[in-house]
Chain A
Amino acid sequence: MKKLTYILFLIGILSFGCTEGWVDLNEDPNNATDVPAGTILTYVERAASETLWDVWWTGNNTSSYANHISKIQYIDESRYVERETIIQRWGTLMTYQTDLKKIIKKAQDEEDPNPQMEGVAKVLSAFLYHIMTDTWKAIPFTQGAQGEDGVMAPAYDDQPTVYSGLLTMLDEANTLLQQEGNIEGDILNRGEAMLWRKFANSLRLRVAIRMSNVDPTTAGNVISTILGNSSAYPILESNDDMIALQWTESSPYREPFFEDQLTRDDHGMCETFIDALLHTNDPRISEFAHPAPVDEVYRGLVAGIAEEDEGSFQINQISRIGTRYRDNPDNLTYWMRYAEIEFIKAEAYERNLATGDAQAAYEAGVTASCEEHDVAPGQIIAYLSDPNVAWDDNTGDYGYTNLEKIYFQKWISLFKQGHEAWAETRRTDIPQLNAAPGSPYSGHNRPPFRWPYPTYEYNLNPGVPEQWDGEIVDRFWGDQMWWDTRTGVN
């Protein structure tokens, strides 16, 4: 019996004694529990550039809605037959907000504060929320990305609330960026606080001009304040101030359109865009597009051609996207270009939202865009005097007013910024676009107004999206954006 006791004792030791060191044993050796804020910033800038400006989001959807790009094979998305996985990038965008919150938290560290980094995170946060609200309308803004704090069913905010929040957020960022600090891991703006301030204020202009039809007072105040004090509110001043991500030569971080064309040939130029460039003798056409392989003629394809007409063209009769936008691995992804700022100024002056020389701003915008596309100075001068472009009401093939010419030139300058071009065509209706002929949703006279909420929001955020869902008709239409004051469109 003594032996037995001894054995039982051993069994006891074996099992009870061995938990020592277990806390360490279960500490993950593969992943870090804390990382520098700069590494998160690099991630968000790179990942967001892929999410928002790859062929799936921009090429298939937003640039197609804006009639810049057409799908020429597997035309589904150009016909608004979308993939839920792209709509579900809602979630991807929201996880970036979580990452930005982490940066802000680290930057607010009492021992080692870094207000500049906080400012950067706020600019990015506002930028991403702005795209979300212009895509889905009501979004969870004030309660968004607070899952770690237990907010599991964030309420949605209407657009006036979101817009006002964005203006505040960007103003705060401009202030923070003037304080002490350093910006690390920044692959978008080279770690330059001044460039981030310009980006913040320029983005504020973008937000303000968008809401200018429905809240001209606020918009006018914001725009006048910014344009009236360039030292307190610096903005983009030249093409050198372009906010863009430059990709690398080699895999895995090559420009997304380049990466796609290695294996797919689904995207060509849209007929509306090519026709507009041809009509106006646009010198940028050879930069935007390649002539069609078959006959070296610039030719676009209707966005979302009807199925029965699919046999009426061959893809080599269609122009492909130009070299600087598709054919180099280290091309740019454009977050914001200088020309847009001049067009915002021109519009604000023309509509008396602020005081200034509209024509000068307009011509500066056209010039900036042409220079960006390496158009020779002589050609720019000629182009500016073409009746289609010249600052002269109701001239040219389309008979546009000066304001409409601003809108038209802005639309051209936003090539491959699908989201912004789509938003502006919804706001200005210039150029006037038609719904895709091959759309399965009949009775619509304009491209989509908005995206449907991703299905998982219906399952997982009970009650919240339903009140907004009632506004949606045929997935992509229904109630217009708050700032979309077009009438007679559906």
Chain B
Amino acid sequence: MKKLTLVFSLFVLSGLSVLFAQAVVISGTVTSSVEGEGPIPGVQVVVKGTTIGTTTDIDGNYSLSVPEGTETLVFHFVGMKTVEEKIEGRTTINVVMEPDVLGIDEVVVTALGITREKKALGYSVTDVSGEELARVKDANIVNTLQGKVAGVQITNASGAVGASSRLLIRGINSFGDNQPLWVIDGTPISNRASGAGQWSGVDYGNDAMDIDPENIESISVLKGANAAALYGSRARNGVVMITTKKGRAREGLGVVFSSHTTFDNVMFLPAYQNDYGQGVNGSEYIFNLRKEAGSIPADMTYQEYAANYGFKYVDGLGGGVFDGVDESWGPRLDVGLLIDQFHGENQPWVSHPDNVKDFFVTGVNSSNNLSITAGSDKVKGRLSYTNLYQTGTIPNTDQKRNTINATTTVNVGDRITAEVNFNYVNTSNDNLPGQGYDVQNVMQSIGGWFGRQVDIKLLEEHWEEWVTKPNGDRYPYNWNSNYHNNPYWTVYKNTASRERNRVFGNAVLTYRLNDWLDLMGRYGLDYYNEFRKSVTYEGSNDKAVGTGGSFSQNERNRREINTDVFLNFDRSIGTDFEVSGNVGAHYRRYDYLYMYLAAAELTVPNFFDVANVKGTPSTDMYESHFETNSVFGALNVGFRDYLFLDLTFRNDWSSTLPKDNWSYPYPSASLGWIFTETFGIDQSFFSYGKLRASYAKVGSDTDPYRLTATYDSYTAFAGLTQFSFPGTIPPANLKPEMSTSMELGGEFKFFMNRLGLDIAYYNTVTNNQIMSVEVSRSTGFNNMLINAGEIETSGVELLFYADILKSRQGLNWTTTINWSKSKTMVNELAEGVESYTLNSTWSPTTVEARPGEPFGQIYGVGYERDENGNKLVEDGFYVKTSGAPVVCGNIMPDWVGSIRNDFRYKGLNLSFLIDAKWGGDIYSVTKWFGDYAGITQTTVEGGIRENGIVAEGIDVNTGNPNEVAVAPQSFFSDYWGATEPAVIDGTYVKFRELSIGYDIPVQNLGFLRNLNVSLVGRNLGVLYLDESNDIRIDPETGYGTGTTAVGIEQYQIPPVRSLGFKIRAEF
């Protein structure tokens, strides 16, 4: 830190010495060349090669102090051709801008926050405007990018409020982290995700969801290492660069109010059956078999059988007939049976088809934003406040967020610009739902292990009541007391709360040395403190009466500092060459502190304080620190505005690596060639053509403290401390991971830009993967940390758009298609390592990387097949494979794509987005245990509970098609131990977004300048699912944001459909 302060003071001092240098004020008006459009507000006026600049006011006027010696001003405006004006001694410069029909002067934000013309780039960058993001808002900004960027794949972790989302750019590069870096106004911020695990937990979201789309001017997605080489290690997986809205020079205040409210409902639920209720052996098939076998009297009625052999409630603990069972293999519903149930004796045995649906409620997602902008040419500022209030579709779940965003830019003299970006975000939740295969996840009971006859209304009405069992024990009112809580008890009693206070932002000082050189210093901070507390009440299924209940709470402090200093240059050499670039240095410091305490039992029931612990509280503390240093440089050379070469170089030093490997350098190069310009091709047909090629290397470090073995500690046993040697053999000499990427692409526009195509092919090879490989447990260890292996991802991205209708006064229709395909192969692992387990779930299923195979193979026990691919059947059951695990699927999708249509007619606009993921298998526990437990539609279809199920396949005993019928409950319980029946194809097509907006004419109202109302919808429907997904789970959902968290589903919270309205008013 001391060194840093020194650098800064020197930096500031060097700037002060020229504070009083001569300056010239230039002013003027910018107008449009299009008839009737007049002055253009919001045009960026910049001193060429610097960040010194201003924007035009509402009347198109600007005024700018420029340093002595300034030669050229540059005028940028979206949709207009960029204008460069030589000053040549003038103090008034009026500019007429022409519409940019070809869109070739579009500017994008690139690495380090440097704005560049898109045409000059030799790699792929996609821009998404803030307007487009805010059109149909989601509480998580990641979700709003869905379907908007080719090559980006988004996975929402669940339908729970506050849930995290994962964003992958160009697929998988590593066995470790594949999340891109998030950068706001040049400073990296955390997007750490705290998703639920597959076995339990609460999804606390991903950190980037603290960003309010209303504050975003634009997002540039830098894809892959090529675009991101200058950000170093962390940008290997691409960068999401966010530029926030800033103040503008203008008269008076600009006030914008926007209000966005949607009503959220469950989009769809799994396909449950409503023909048979709770219990075992209740079907007519088994009833008849038993009669034939003589094990029940021949004259026994189905009513007698059902009430005495199928299901009879006594205590819900197994004391009656299958009343402890949470499966639906019981008697048939709706045929007039009377059976003892949890709510009374001899109750009608009838179906409640909406019992799961009725548990969910309508959530509200309301976001209100007020922003004020003001500014002169000296000082500009914007202040914005957002309040988000959200309730979930699961009762008693919520999220509240208050965001204050302030930016100020001050021009000190004509050489120094100071800018401060500040954000304060407070996020709080009273309760977030439990997820995973856990008693705290309501879907584990009502959506999985359930009596399909249960009337959820009864559970809602009586959840606060207690019942005394025949043995004298007390239990909360519920349909089953063996394995489950009443779902209302779970959501109202066993809460998981959170409060987070976060500050992030940066301070930037730019000092202009001369007309082609400036120096920039930036100090960025991202800090938060987060507090979480989970409580479980006595009487819950895992906290019987007498235990007092339990709780756990933890606090975490995370701080990251990013400082950089760099020198930018930009000058013309002769008339043909334009040279720009930078050299700089970067310092990063990361600190993390964590404290945890928990009580497994309490003395005073339900008093959740550590002083009240029964026994020993569990405690934990953890801290983590590391630093990285870097130097970097970039050189961009442009030749005659059609040939562009970029070279970058970076060297990182990371404290997490062994001393000898702290330092690692890597380069990149890219070339862009606008051949239509070179050859002067006629623009009316082939309007614009550009080819791109690039190559980059990026190194990557590891987490701290991985170099030496340290003992694991355990809660003391009767006061005796316990340690064990870790299960991972530490690495001998860890080296940085290295990714090498190349990209080839082209951009082609036709018919004066009415039709456009952007295509890219890329290939990334990552080797020296830092990975923890499994070793034979006979070595006395579970894993070994090594540097080895090679994975290769290649893919194609396609962006196509067409302005099908274009008319200034009439109907406009634009179609945009994004499509991308990526494939990751595991080329090699370490010597002697045949398999790397990426994830594992219910035994025997694992997700693996094996040499020569695609990444993400689902391995496990499948079904044996004959040479024609028919499944083999023995005694009515499928024959499971034995011995080595077999491939049962692959979690990686074949392709993702989207199609967007925008219509505009005068003040009315309509846009909708449909997106799809094709392929990518999912190991679905909802399907697996849903069939096992007899709750799914599959388990009743085709009259199988009356006649038995005849498995489709070849009988190994006869060689002919199987004819042996077995009881469905036996057939589906044979799923246990097999992987194949749980694997479904994760294909989906979804109606993702809809917005119908209208600009209400407000010309007559002086105070109101713009008023837009729109109807907005997200996730409106699922248009297609693969037939193997007969359970109808949402295939988009994974349980978290980890690399392989997709592909495994365990009682997902159902997806949410949002429909609402938005009002935006500008004053």
B635 an interface residue at 8 Å Cβ cutoff?
A: no
Contact status B614-A457, CB under 8 Å = no
CB-defined contacts of A40 to chain B, threshold 8 Å: 711, 722-725
- In the bound complex, CA of A489 to CA of B4 (Å): 79
| B residues 699-729 touching A (CB-CB < 8 Å) | 704-705, 707-715, 717-718, 720-725, 727, 729
B320 an interface residue at 8 Å Cβ cutoff?
A: yes
0 or 1 for each of B349-366: is its CB under 8 Å from A? (1 = yes): 000000000000000000
CB-defined contacts of A161 to chain B, threshold 8 Å: none
Closest to A31 in B: B710
Contact status A10-B655, CB under 8 Å = no
B26 an interface residue at 8 Å Cβ cutoff?
A: no
Number of interface residues of B (CB under 8 A): 101
| B residues 588-621 touching A (CB-CB < 8 Å) | 600-601, 614-616, 618, 621
Choice from B565, B616, B629 contacting A10 with Cβ under 8 Å? B565
The stretch from A195-203, A243-251, A389-397 touching chain B is A243-251
Contact status A15-B782, CB under 8 Å = no
Contact status B779-A154, CB under 8 Å = yes
Contact status B629-A146, CB under 8 Å = no
The stretch from A113-121, A311-319, A377-385 touching chain B is A311-319
Given A26-B655, A101-B780, A147-B729, CB of A14 within 8 Å of CB of B7: yes
- In the bound complex, CA of A243 to CA of B240 (Å): 62
Contact status A18-B627, CB under 8 Å = yes
CB-defined contacts of A73 to chain B, threshold 8 Å: 318, 324-325, 482
| B residues 799-852 touching A (CB-CB < 8 Å) | 832-835, 843-844
CB-defined contacts of B623 to chain A, threshold 8 Å: 29-30
Interface bin, chain A: 35 or more
Choice from B3, B517, B725 contacting A13 with Cβ under 8 Å? B3
The residue among A12, A32, A72 with the most chain B CB atoms within 10 A of its own CB is A32
CB-defined contacts of B10 to chain A, threshold 8 Å: 10
Choice from A102, A316, A454 contacting B725 with Cβ under 8 Å? A102
CB-defined contacts of B835 to chain A, threshold 8 Å: 459-460
Given A30-B621, A40-B724, A249-B615, CB of A90 within 8 Å of CB of B777: yes
Contact status B583-A144, CB under 8 Å = no
Contact status A7-B843, CB under 8 Å = no
- In the bound complex, CA of A19 to CA of B471 (Å): 68
CB-defined contacts of A143 to chain B, threshold 8 Å: 778
Closest to B587 in A: A14
Given A19-B629, A147-B781, A252-B715, CB of A3 within 8 Å of CB of B14: yes
0 or 1 for each of B448-488: is its CB under 8 Å from A? (1 = yes): 00000000000000000000000100000000001000000
A179 an interface residue at 8 Å Cβ cutoff?
A: no
CB distance from A482 to the nearest CB of B (A): 19
B281 an interface residue at 8 Å Cβ cutoff?
A: yes
B112 an interface residue at 8 Å Cβ cutoff?
A: no
Closest to A17 in B: B3
A307 an interface residue at 8 Å Cβ cutoff?
A: yes
CB-defined contacts of B780 to chain A, threshold 8 Å: 94-95, 97-98, 101, 144-148
CB-defined contacts of B517 to chain A, threshold 8 Å: 4
Closest to A101 in B: B780
- In the bound complex, CA of A23 to CA of B835 (Å): 33
| B residues 308-339 touching A (CB-CB < 8 Å) | 309-310, 317-322, 324-325
CB-defined contacts of B319 to chain A, threshold 8 Å: 293, 314-316
0 or 1 for each of A314-343: is its CB under 8 Å from B? (1 = yes): 111000000000000000000000000000
B256 an interface residue at 8 Å Cβ cutoff?
A: no
CB distance from B974 to the nearest CB of A (A): 8
CB distance from B525 to the nearest CB of A (A): 18
CB-defined contacts of B775 to chain A, threshold 8 Å: 147, 152, 460
Contact status B832-A311, CB under 8 Å = no
CB-defined contacts of A38 to chain B, threshold 8 Å: 720
CB-defined contacts of A285 to chain B, threshold 8 Å: none
- In the bound complex, CA of A76 to CA of B709 (Å): 39
Contact status B318-A314, CB under 8 Å = yes
Contact status A15-B774, CB under 8 Å = no
B585 an interface residue at 8 Å Cβ cutoff?
A: yes
B61 an interface residue at 8 Å Cβ cutoff?
A: no
Contact status B884-A251, CB under 8 Å = no
Closest to A294 in B: B319
A253 an interface residue at 8 Å Cβ cutoff?
A: yes
CB-defined contacts of A187 to chain B, threshold 8 Å: 717-718, 720
Choice from B309, B565, B844 contacting A455 with Cβ under 8 Å? B844
Given A252-B616, A263-B544, A310-B280, CB of A6 within 8 Å of CB of B781: no
B513 an interface residue at 8 Å Cβ cutoff?
A: yes
CB-defined contacts of B727 to chain A, threshold 8 Å: 95
The residue among A84, A146, A154 with the most chain B CB atoms within 10 A of its own CB is A84
| A residues 144-183 touching B (CB-CB < 8 Å) | 144-148, 151-154
Instruction: Name 10 interchain pairs, CB-CB below 8 A, sorted by A.
Output: A3-B513, A26-B704, A28-B708, A38-B720, A95-B725, A98-B780, A148-B781, A152-B779, A187-B718, A293-B319
A residues contacting B by CB (< 8 A) are 3-4, 6-8, 10-19, 22-23, 25-35, 38-40, 42-44, 46-47, 72-73, 76, 81, 83-85, 88, 90-91, 94-95, 97-99, 101-102, 139-140, 143-148, 151-154, 185, 187, 248-253, 262-263, 265, 293, 307-308, 310-311, 314-316, 454-462, 464, 469
**Top 5 closest pairs, chain A to chain B, by CB:** A250-B615, A147-B779, A145-B780, A91-B777, A84-B843
Further 14 A-B residue pairs, CB within 8 A, beyond A28-B710, A95-B725, A460-B775: A15-B653, A19-B629, A32-B710, A42-B722, A83-B843, A95-B777, A144-B780, A147-B781, A187-B717, A250-B616, A263-B541, A311-B322, A460-B833, A464-B778
